[in-house]
Structure 1
Amino acid sequence: MNYIRNILNSRSNDNGNFFLQLKNILGFKPKNKNYYITAFTHRSMNIKDKKGNAINYERLEFVGDAMLSSVIAAYLFSEVPHGDEGYLTKMRSKIVSREHLNELGKELNLIDFVESKISKSNFGNNIHGNLFEALVGAIFLDRGYRYCEKFIFKRVINPHVDIETLEGKVISYKSLLIEWCQKEKKTFDYNVYEDTGNDNLKHFSVKLSIDDKVVAKARATSKKKAEEKASKRAFFAFQNKITKFFNE
């Protein structure tokens, strides 16, 4: 297939150690290299197959996300026999959180392998986690469940998963704060407004009020990030009360 040959030739010219480095990350030699080439092909390359289907890592993300959830769910089910469905779901969410997946992608320097027409400095932070998911998807399609499971244990579970530490990890400060407010019958309001200022990128500011009193302010490039940042600041302002409430 010409599109694969072109990318492979490009990699050979730009980075002759691509597959050697990939083998070191995987711990085994790929059988079908095309999956891994696709796993590191950005949509900006605008490559399509003979049927006009896009060739990039985004579909592999879907497969990788499912495999991560499957392997980690089975691990938690085995390791935490006392955990109910809600507990296991929360623990899995902490392990496969976007923040954690981004850290895993950065740890392996996966962005160095990307073929793109966009400067890597312009990528958002989530590309690291996206590439990690795509790589997991490629492993599954290339070698099957057992190899995929082995890779996830090697790169995710064994070095990073500690049940006791995870139990105390907060995934969403906003969700935690809202739950506390609702159970304590406190009113809360996120007043979000556009605040671009002198920045090239659009920014949003938020004022978080509890019982009609502003308790935290924050600013970020999206409403969701601004609300989460303000919630985190509010959490630490009320940490003793919130921690005491959830521990009772």
Structure 2
Amino acid sequence: MKREMEMEIEASVLAVEGILQYTFKNKKLLEQALTHSSVADAVSYERLEFIGDPILSASVSYYFYVKYPDLEPGHLSLLRAAMVSTEKLARIAVRFGLHHFVRHNASPVLDNVTRFVEAVRHERLSGAVAYAGSVKAPKVLADIVESIAAAVYVDLGFDLPRLWLVIKHLMEPIVTPDELEQQPQPVTNLFEICQKNGKVVDIKFSREDNKCVASVFVDEQLLVSASSDQKYLAKLEAAKLALQQLSHMVPKADVRLVLGQDEDGTLMVMAAKHKLHEICMIKKWPKPLFRMEKDSGPPHDKRFVFAVQLATPEGTYQMSGDEKCRVRDAENSAASFMIMALQEYNYI
């Protein structure tokens, strides 16, 4: 019996080494990383998980710090948080099948993992895309990923850059700043939208028919409610519903637009760059950012193409203008296309 258990452990270690594409010098480290505290007379992953949490965060921080040298600390923190959340790490464990190799003697652990794995599988089959799934991610799965990362880190002689080289493929797809802005965490996004529009938001919880009910109040008025067996899912769903409602509540920018034609006969918003700045001031959005995309032609016949980037509470948008012979005209062209897009989607 003892020999069978040893062979099973050896097989698990070998399988996880294959997933990691890394061979341990001290295989006992990986064995510990795969052992739950419910297993008697065995060293569990708890000590490794203790250092795995900060080390994984440090490794991800190292990557983003080098990858985005101009990104502000606040944005770096958001990227890191998205990469090392319990949800993200648990899904990594499921994607690579790491949960199959965890040793434990606790039925509730297995039950929670099984429900989560089945929910993730159903999402893949249905094509569902959501910030979080219908079942809360079990912390044990995230702990295992952290413990494995810690085991690699220790086995590498505490070499942080080399750790990232080993675990990077596990962490993919890696969140980018654009993705984070386009798909922000609903609760965080809700509070940001309300703050930027001078509104006070509060989320209150209650119980109804053995379910948790999350109610979103804006300026002390009930906006939406959502219920779930789990508090965090009720809060998440309520935030999503509130964001849908708020898209109609945010006042439009009352800006008078004058349409005309440029030298090429293209219909455009006159003084578009100035008007776009005016819209951003009214909506309390950051100033639009203009960037040259193209600079071509001989000195006597230069041609320019500019793009404009606009950050809104719902996400960051970019629009390119037509090719023009003057920088000012190229910027106005980009701004004009952006304003027309804002009109089309009822932002103004």
Please indicate the TM-score interval, normalised by the length of the shorter structure: 0.7 to 0.9
Relative to structure 1, is the Cα distance of residues 232 and 137 closer, same or farther in structure 2, using a 3 angstrom cutoff?
A: same
Identity, % of aligned positions: 26
Partner Cα distance (1:215, 1:81) in 2: 41
Partner Cα distance (1:122, 1:36) in 2: 23
**1:228-247 equivalences in 2 (<5 Å):** 228-239=236-247, 241=250, 247=311
Give the 3-state SS of the residue equivalent to 1:205 in structure 2.
Answer: strand
Structure 2, unmatched stretches of 5+, are 114-136, 252-282, 286-310, 313-348
Relative to structure 1, is the Cα distance of residues 35 and 178 closer, same or farther in structure 2, using a 3 angstrom cutoff?
A: same
Relative to structure 1, is the Cα distance of residues 76 and 147 closer, same or farther in structure 2, using a 3 angstrom cutoff?
A: closer
**1:45-124 equivalences in 2 (<5 Å):** 45-47=39-41, 55-119=43-107, 120-123=110-113
**1:163-242 equivalences in 2 (<5 Å):** 163-171=177-185, 173-195=186-208, 197=210, 203-239=211-247, 241=250
Partner Cα distance (1:213, 1:39) in 2: 49
Structure with the larger helix share: 1
Equivalent position of 2:138 in the other structure: 125
Partner Cα distance (1:35, 1:88) in 2: 31
Q: What is the TM-score when the length of structure 2 is the normalising length? A: 0.58
Equivalent position of 2:17 in the other structure: 23
Partner Cα distance (1:71, 1:208) in 2: 36
Structure with the larger strand share: 2
Q: Relative contact order (C-alpha < 8 Å, sep 6+): which is higher? A: 1
Relative to structure 1, is the Cα distance of residues 143 and 225 closer, same or farther in structure 2, using a 3 angstrom cutoff?
A: same
Equivalent position of 2:304 in the other structure: none
Partner Cα distance (1:37, 1:61) in 2: 13
Give the 3-state SS of the residue equivalent to 1:44 in structure 2.
Answer: coil
Question: How many residue pairs were aligned?
Answer: 228
Equivalent position of 1:41 in the other structure: 35
Partner Cα distance (1:130, 1:160) in 2: 19
Give the 3-state SS of the residue equivalent to 1:111 in structure 2.
Answer: helix
Relative to structure 1, is the Cα distance of residues 21 and 47 closer, same or farther in structure 2, using a 3 angstrom cutoff?
A: same
Relative to structure 1, is the Cα distance of residues 245 and 65 closer, same or farther in structure 2, using a 3 angstrom cutoff?
A: farther
Give the 3-state SS of the residue equivalent to 1:61 in structure 2.
Answer: helix
Relative to structure 1, is the Cα distance of residues 86 and 127 closer, same or farther in structure 2, using a 3 angstrom cutoff?
A: same
Per-residue deviation, residues 121-149 of structure 1 (Å, max 9, x unmatched): 23463322221111101111122325422
Partner Cα distance (2:177, 2:195) in 1: 28
Q: What is the TM-score when the length of structure 1 is the normalising length? A: 0.78
